[in-house]
């Protein structure tokens, strides 16, 4: 494989390649090693940075790449403070669960989610770069017998202006010289001096994604490899009663049939033979699982009843003052219930993993695209009962993630391992699209009940937001749930409505029974909580007789940057100029600390009930943009994702079985339905906040509010399918 683990690099380095290795410890950069010397030999260390004598600067990428672009952005942050010439930088993927490189935003678990890579690693990477630069300057000072204070750096070189001396980083990294890191963290750049952060530096992975050379897990080929296709129990919890494998085994190319905990794999010489073999299996499953009773419609009814029953038990998500009292004391009380269905990730690369398990089961090499080195390595170790040292992992770029590849236990990895162990050969297990959808883990269905009071002046008096949905964390990561219960950020994010100042506020999680496999999905809770909250704000503004901008601005008395976004998006969308036959809707949401104001303009075919989103304007404050061009791409993509989810995406479940099969019945947005998108980014801060998911949460409410603008009717059940639209119109 082309992807080098730093440990492999180190091995070749021990042959005497020389250079400098910047070793990381628990608290960041710990020491520097002469890569050819004893120190490196003695240290089983990975490094943030390795500088080769030839001048290549190898920077570790500790997250994983699913399209969000942090494989460029993270090394860029380090390179900025190192003052590296970007052309010298080689990016190397971290391929193991080494918590010294973990994501500070997730307690140092190697976990790429929550739009957290750039903001989570921002400080650690800058400091590592600055510390490494300081070492190079000291080496130059020693070499030239000059005080370090007289030196400066320019891209990939230390310079002494008075004497005109100049030494390339590669030269300084070679041979003898000081290796010590200063006692104190090296000073960081003045942001005004940034030349990489905030620049138009292109993504490194783009050329390989235009000529077919980028290698995803599904593309990995190793000698002697077989292919597996898995017939899975149709309902969660069912197990195998009996099977007849004779026909499958007789099919051309079939090598083995392997029983799995929740399925049967046919392993064959080619992927097509595996598929044909699987079609010939005849399998009887149990029919007793509790999940046989699951249906999406029933789940939503139960959830809605729980949300509306104010006496039902709930976990406090955020509380300020006394919402119930304020609502009771208000001149007018408003309430509404919003529903949202299960949604599927539809990442374009179906699950695919290559595993090569040693014949005695003592070692494994795995190629997988997941959002976490930690949990993938853990899955491998658990399935095979081997230690982390016996695992060689290759974290492949993913054909989309969106939360699907985050779970603590990864059945797609497990299956490839079990098939390889059973056959003694490397196996590529590929899910079909139907497998990926029918056995998907979804954004949970949710019912939300909102209540608020309005006073005589049209102001808000109390806000209560009850979200009835299962705990996502309890299912997709039970270990984590032990630490955080009953606070479920995956189920609840967004319901805190933290951009508004509402004195009497309550957001509550009514933790309902899980009736599908659930997992994070782009925007996590905010994908539906912001729909409900911002659609409800629109209803309140209307009831109060106020302009939707003014009503929200009043809630942002302490949030001038938020008000700025409102003003911007009003101007961008030319809000006050109405176009006949179209509706306009506003929403203010965002993700985490990132704020986003969005305006949707829609048209409607009243006969068919089809909504078309014509334009979407967004004003976003994501703090400092490390890669502005990519940030824009992420927000654009997040908006497209949001439109797709709001208009069409719906998983239905009957008797525990997902009813959809493929893109013909789970439709995602196509090119012909994409709105014109215009994005503005606020400037003026020095810290990045979340980008990857920031575009999505505002979209559904903006569309629902535009629908009200156009028709006077409310859409309170997402997605806004043609049937629901016609129903809302009373047709």
- String marking each residue 370-389 x if it binds ligand FES according to CB under 6 A: --------------------
Q: Which does 215 bind (CB under 5 to 8 A by kind): other proteins, ligand FES, none?
A: other proteins
- Could you tell me the smallest distance in angstroms from the CB atom of residue 437 to other proteins? 10
Structure tokens at 547: 């302009």
Q: Are strands 427-430 and 315-320 parallel, antiparallel or unpaired?
A: unpaired
The entry of other proteins, ligand FES, none near residue 210 (CB within 5 to 8 angstroms by kind) is other proteins
Residue 662 CB, nearest approach to ligand FES (Å):
9
The listed partner (ligand FES, other proteins, none) that binds 607, CB under 5 to 8 Å by sort, is: none
Report the alpha-carbon distance of residue 185 to residue 182 in Å, rounded: 7
Nearer to other proteins, 411 or 436 (CB): 436
Q: Which of 348, 456, 550, 571 binds ligand FES (CB under 6 A)?
A: 348
Q: Is 67 or 520 the residue whose CB approaches ligand FES more closely? A: 67
Binding to other proteins by CB under 8 A, coded x per residue (else -) over 647-686, reads ---------------xxx---xxxxx-x-xx---------
- Which CB sits closer to other proteins, 464 or 634? 634
Closer CB to other proteins, 52 or 65, in the complex: 65
> CA 229 to CA 267: how far, in whole Å?
7
- Look-up: residue for tokens 């009814």? 301
Residue with structure tokens 């302490």?
Answer: 558
Closer to other proteins at the Cβ: 431 or 551? 431
What's the sign of the alpha-carbon dihedral 521, 524, 527, 529?
positive
Torsion of CA 371, 377, 382, 386, to 10 degrees: 170
Residue closer to ligand FES by CB (options 180, 348) is 348
Q: What is the bridge-based pairing of β-strands 332-340 and 717-718?
A: parallel
In the chain, what is the straight-line distance between the N-terminal and C-terminal CA atoms, in Å?
59
> Rounded distance, CA 143 to CA 160, Å?
12
Rounded CA separation 291/235 (Å): 7
3-state secondary structure of 17: coil
Helix or strand holding residue 534 (H, E) = helix 526-543
Distance separating alpha carbons of residues 391 and 378, to the nearest angstrom: 10
**Peptide bond before 355: cis, by omega within 30 degrees of 0?**
no
Instruction: With contacts defined by CB under 8 A, name the span among 102-110, 322-330, 512-520, 628-636 that binds other proteins.
Output: 628-636
Burial class (CB in 10 A: 0-12, 13-18, 19+), 13: buried
Q: Figure out which of the listed residues 14, 180, 241, 252 binds other proteins, where binding follows CB under 8 A.
A: 252
What secondary structure letter does DSSP report for 207?
G
Our finding on whether 67 is near ligand FES (CB under 6 A) is yes
Q: Which does 69 bind (CB under 5 to 8 A by kind): other proteins, ligand FES, none?
A: other proteins
State how far the Cα of 430 lies from the Cα of 412, in Å rounded to an integer.
9
Minimum distance from residue 269 beta carbon to other proteins (Å): 10
| Separation between Cα atoms, residue 233 and residue 435, nearest integer Å | 11
Instruction: Find the shortest distance in angstroms from Cβ 107 to ligand FES.
Output: 29
Could you give the CA distance from residue 142 to residue 309 in angstroms, rounded to a whole number?
74
Decide if residue 207 touches other proteins (CB under 8 A): yes
Q: Which of 165, 318, 433, 564 binds other proteins (CB under 8 A)?
A: 433
Packed helices 70-82 and 117-144: angle between N→C axes, nearest 10 degrees: 30
CB of 654 to other proteins, least distance (A): 22
Nearest-angstrom CA–CA distance, 116 and 524: 13
Closest of 508, 510, 350 to residue 444, by C-alpha: 510
Binders of other proteins in range 379-398 (CB under 8 A): 397-398
Does 640 help bind other proteins (rule: CB under 8 A)? yes
Task: State the binding partner of 637 from ligand FES, other proteins, none, CB within 5 to 8 A by kind.
Answer: other proteins
Binders of other proteins: how many residues, by CB under 8 A?
Answer: 64
The item of other proteins, ligand FES, none sharing an interface with residue 227, based on CB under 5 to 8 Å by kind, is: other proteins
Helix (H/G/I), strand (E/B), else coil: 192 = helix
In the complex with ligand FES, which residue's Cβ is closer, 113 or 502? 113
Stretch that binds other proteins, among 65-73, 172-180, 454-462, 581-589 (CB under 8 A): 65-73
Q: Rule CB under 6 A: say whether 246 interacts with ligand FES.
A: no
| Residue 104 touches which member of ligand FES, other proteins, none, C-beta under 5-8 Å by kind | none
Find the binding residues for other proteins in span 118-177 (CB under 8 A): none
Report which of 715, 717, 728, 499 is spatially closest to residue 620, judged by C-alpha positions: 499
Residue from 19, 75, 102, 400 in contact with ligand FES (CB under 6 A) = 400
With a CB cutoff of 8 Å and minimum separation 6, the contacts of 246 are none
Peptide bond preceding 719 in cis form (omega within 30 of 0): yes
**For binding to other proteins (CB under 8 A), which residues are involved?**
65-69, 202-203, 205-216, 218-219, 221, 227, 252, 270-272, 345-350, 397-402, 430, 432-433, 629-630, 633-634, 636-641, 644, 662-664, 668-672, 674, 676-677
**For binding to ligand FES (CB under 6 A), which residues are involved?**
67, 348, 400
């Amino acid at each position: 494989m082309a992807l080098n683990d730093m440990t492999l690099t180190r091995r070749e380095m021990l042959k005497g390649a020389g250079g400098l290795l910047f070793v990381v410890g628990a608290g960041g950069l710990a020491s520097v090693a002469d890569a050819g010397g004893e120190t490196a030999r003695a240290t089983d260390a990975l490094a943030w940075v390795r500088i080769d004598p030839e001048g290549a600067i190898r920077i570790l990428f500790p997250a994983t790449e699913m399209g969000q672009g942090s494989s460029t952005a993270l090394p860029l942050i380090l390179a900025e403070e190192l003052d590296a010439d970007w052309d010298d930088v080689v990016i190397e993927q971290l391929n193991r669960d080494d918590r010294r490189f973990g994501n500070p935003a997730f307690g140092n678990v190697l976990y790429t989610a929550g739009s957290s890579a750039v903001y989570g690693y921002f400080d650690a990477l800058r400091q590592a770069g600055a510390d490494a630069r300081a070492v190079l300057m000291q080496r130059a000072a020693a070499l030239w017998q000059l005080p370090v204070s007289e030196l400066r750096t320019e891209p990939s070189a230390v310079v002494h202006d008075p004497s005109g001396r100049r030494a390339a980083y590669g030269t300084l990294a070679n041979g003898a010289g000081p290796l010590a890191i200063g006692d104190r963290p090296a000073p960081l750049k003045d942001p005004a001096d940034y030349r990489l952060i905030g620049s138009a530096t292109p993504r490194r992975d783009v050329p390989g994604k235009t000529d077919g050379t980028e290698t995803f897990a599904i593309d990995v080929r190793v000698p002697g490899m077989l292919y597996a296709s898995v017939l899975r129990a149709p309902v969660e919890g069912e197990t195998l009663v009996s099977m007849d494998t004779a026909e499958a085994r007789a099919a051309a190319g079939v090598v083995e049939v392997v029983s799995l905990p929740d399925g049967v794999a046919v392993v064959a010489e080619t992927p097509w033979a595996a598929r044909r073999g699987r079609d010939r299996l005849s399998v009887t499953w149990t029919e007793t699982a509790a999940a046989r009773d699951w249906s999406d419609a029933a789940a939503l009814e139960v959830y809605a009843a729980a949300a509306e029953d104010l006496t039902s038990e709930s976990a406090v998500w955020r509380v300020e003052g006394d919402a119930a009292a304020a609502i009771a004391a208000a001149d007018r009380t408003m309430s509404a219930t919003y529903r949202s269905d299960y949604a599927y990730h539809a990442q374009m690369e179906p699950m695919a993993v290559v595993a090569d398990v040693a014949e005695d089961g003592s070692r494994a090499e795995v190629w997988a695209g997941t959002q976490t080195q930690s949990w993938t390595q853990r899955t491998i170790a658990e399935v095979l009962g081997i230690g982390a040292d016996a695992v060689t992992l290759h974290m492949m770029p993913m054909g989309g993630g969106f939360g699907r590849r985050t779970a603590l236990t990864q059945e797609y990895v497990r299956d490839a391992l079990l098939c390889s162990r059973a056959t003694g050969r490397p196996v590529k297990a590929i899910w079909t699209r139907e497998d990926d959808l029918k056995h998907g883990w979804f954004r949970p269905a949710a019912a939300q009940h909102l209540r608020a009071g309005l006073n005589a002046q049209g102001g808000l008096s109390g806000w209560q937001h009850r979200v009835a949905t299962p705990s996502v964390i309890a299912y997709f990561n039970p270990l984590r749930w032990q630490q955080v219960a009953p606070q479920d950020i995956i189920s609840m994010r967004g319901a805190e409505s933290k951009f508004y100042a509402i004195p009497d506020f309550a957001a509550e999680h009514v933790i309902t029974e899980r009736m599908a496999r659930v997992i994070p999905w782009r925007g996590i809770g905010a994908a539906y909580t912001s729909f409900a909250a911002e659609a409800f704000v629109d209803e309140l503004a209307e009831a109060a007789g106020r302009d939707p901008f003014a009503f929200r601005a009043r809630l942002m008395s302490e949030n001038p940057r938020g008000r700025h976004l409102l003003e911007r998006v009003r101007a961008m969308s030319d809000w006050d100029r109405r176009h006949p036959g179209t509706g306009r809707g506003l929403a203010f949401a965002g993700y985490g600390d990132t704020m986003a104001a969005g305006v949707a303009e829609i048209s409607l075919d009243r006969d068919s009930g089809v909504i078309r989103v014509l334009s979407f304007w967004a004003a976003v404050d994501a703090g400092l943009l490390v890669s502005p061009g990519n940030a824009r791409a992420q927000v654009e993509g997040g908006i497209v994702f949001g439109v797709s989810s709001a208009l069409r995406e719906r998983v239905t479940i009957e008797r525990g079985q997902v009813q959809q099969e493929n893109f013909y019945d789970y439709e995602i947005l196509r090119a012909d339905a994409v709105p014109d998108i215009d994005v503005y980014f606020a400037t003026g801060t020095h810290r990045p906040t979340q980008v990857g998911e920031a575009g999505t949460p505002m979209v559904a409410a903006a569309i629902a509010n535009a629908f009200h603008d156009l028709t006077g009717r409310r859409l309170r059940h997402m997605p806004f399918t043609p049937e629901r639209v016609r129903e809302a119109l009373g047709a």
